[in-house]
Structure formats: C-alpha cells, structure tokens
Structure 1
Amino acid sequence: MQREILLQVLEQNKKDCSHFCKNINTENASYRLTEQTASVGFIYRHIGETTNLIGQFFGYETDVEGTTIGQKDIGNLFDLETSRLYFEKGYQTLEKLVLNTSDQEWLEEIETTWFGKIARIKLFSILLNHNAHHCGQLSSAILKGKKH
C-alpha cells in the first residue's frame, strides 16, 4: 500500500506543478515579481534541473547540468522545450524511484552532497516540497509579474 500512496502523492505534485507550467510561454518566461526575484523561465529550468540532479542521489544517472542551482537569475533566456523535457524526465525518474524502491529502502539513509546523510523518504519529501514551493512562485510571477 505504501507504494500506491507515494505514487498518488507524486502524481498530485506533478499535476499541481504541471497546471502552472503549461501556461509558460516565450512572452511570460521573463516575468518576475520584482527585479530581485527569479524569472518564470529560470524557475522552470531550476525545477527540472533540481529534480534530475537529486535523482542522482537515488542512483539515477542524468546528463542534465545544474546551471540554476545556487545561482542568481541574471536574465539568461532558457529554451522552454528543454526545460519542459527536464521537467518531464525528472518526474519520470521519480516515478521509477517509487516503483522500484521497497518499503524498507525508503527508511534507509543515503549520502548526498547537499544534505549529508538522509533517509530516502526525507529526500523525496524535500524534493516534492521544493517543487511545490517553486510552482507557487511560478504561478505568482505569471499572474502578477512583469518584465523587468
């Protein structure tokens, strides 16, 4: 039953994030709430990159590079199709993770460079919360932001 619960939690997280991400286009990709906040395009790329890179801690290799992690948005434009592919690929990896991880393995600790030694379920939770947080930022920037 645990696997089914995690699959539903993951599905809802992806559905909620996808709801906002489907509205991203070349017009609003540069929108920001303020000059200091990240743009829609930057946040979108960040979600995809982070999801794939955290997947490596779970043992899933990726060729995605972390160009946004720990970086300030300096106005670079990101290809939206690549960002969409990163987003989709990241969620596909998380689905594989849920399908291939036993109940006991979720409680085992894994070593990460970002969080130290942490239980798989905690890292999974951090990632889903991270994505939900940034999708909220996307929503606000799309609805209330402007080009700066």
Structure 2
Amino acid sequence: MQKELLLQMVEQSRVDCFRTLEDINADNANYRLTEQTASVGFIYRHIGEATNLMAQFFGYETDVEGSTMGQEDTGKDYDLETSRMLVEEGYTTLEKLVNETPDNEWLEEVDTSWFGKISRINLFSITLFHNAHHCGQIASAIVKGKTH
C-alpha cells in the first residue's frame, strides 16, 4: 500500500503543478511579482532543473545542468517547451523512483550536497514541496505580476 500512496502523491503534485504550468506562455513568461523576484519563465526552468538534479541523490543520472540553481534571474529567456519537458521528465523519474524503491529503503539515508544526510522519504517530500512552492509563485506572478 505504501507504493500506491507515494504514487498518488506524485500524481497529485504533477496534476496541481501542471494545472498552473499550462497557463505559462510567451506573453507572461517574463512576469514578476516585484523587480526583485524571479520571473515565471525562470521559476519554470528552475522546477525542471531542480527536480532532475535532486533525482541524482537517489541514483538517477541526468544531463540536466543547474543554470538556475542559486542564481539570480537576469532576464534570460528560457524556451518554454524545454522547461515543460524538464518538469515532465522530473515527474517521470519520481514515479520511477517510487516504483523501484522497496518499502524498507524509504527510511534509509542518502548523502546529498544540498541537505547533508537525510532519509529518502525526506528528500522525496522536499522535492514535492519545492515544486508546490514554486508553482504557487508562478500562479501568483501570472495573476498579479507584470514585466518589470
């Protein structure tokens, strides 16, 4: 039953995020809530990059580069289709992770350069909460933001 619960969590996160992400377009990709906040397009790319990069801590290889990790949004335009593919790839990897991880391994620790040693389930939940947080930022910027 644990696997089914985790798969439902991944699917709900995917549905909720993509409900927001499908509203991103060339007209609003540069929207920001304030001059200091990141743009919709930057955050979108960040979600895709971060999800794939966090999967490396679980042992999944990726060729994704962290161009947004710890960086400021300089106004660079990001290809929206590439960002969508990165996010989808990240969710596919999370689903694969759930299907391939035995129940008894979720409490085992993994060593990460970002969070130190933490349990697999903790890293998994950080990933899902990270995506929800940033999808909320995108939703707010689309509704209330503007190009600065």
Give how far 1:89 is off: 0.4
Partner of 1:130: 130
The 3-state SS of whatever aligns with 1:107 is coil
Alpha-carbon distance in structure 2 between the residues aligned to 1:63 and 1:89 = 12
Give how far 1:104 is off: 0.8
Alpha-carbon distance in structure 1 between the residues aligned to 2:114 and 2:126 = 11
Runs of 4+ in 1 over 6 A off after TM superposition: none
Normalised TM-score (structure 2): 0.99
Normalised TM-score (structure 1): 0.99
Alpha-carbon distance in structure 1 between the residues aligned to 2:113 and 2:7 = 26
Partner of 1:49: 49
Letter paired with 2:53: L
Give how far 1:98 is off: 0.4
The 3-state SS of whatever aligns with 1:25 is coil
Residue 37, structure 1, aligned to residue 50, structure 2: no
Partner of 1:117: 117
- CA deviations 1:86-117 (Å, max 9, x no partner) are 00000000000000001111010011000111
Partner of 2:84: 84
- CA deviations 1:2-45 (Å, max 9, x no partner) are 00000001100110000000010111000000000000000000
Partner of 1:98: 98
Alpha-carbon distance in structure 1 between the residues aligned to 2:89 and 2:8 = 18
Partner of 1:147: 147
Residue 59, structure 1, aligned to residue 93, structure 2: no
Alpha-carbon distance in structure 1 between the residues aligned to 2:20 and 2:44 = 10
Alpha-carbon distance in structure 2 between the residues aligned to 1:56 and 1:23 = 29
Structure 1: runs of 5 or more not aligned: none
Give how far 1:77 is off: 0.6
Partner of 1:73: 73
Alpha-carbon distance in structure 2 between the residues aligned to 1:104 and 1:44 = 33
Partner of 1:6: 6
Alpha-carbon distance in structure 1 between the residues aligned to 2:69 and 2:14 = 20
Percentage identity across aligned positions?
69
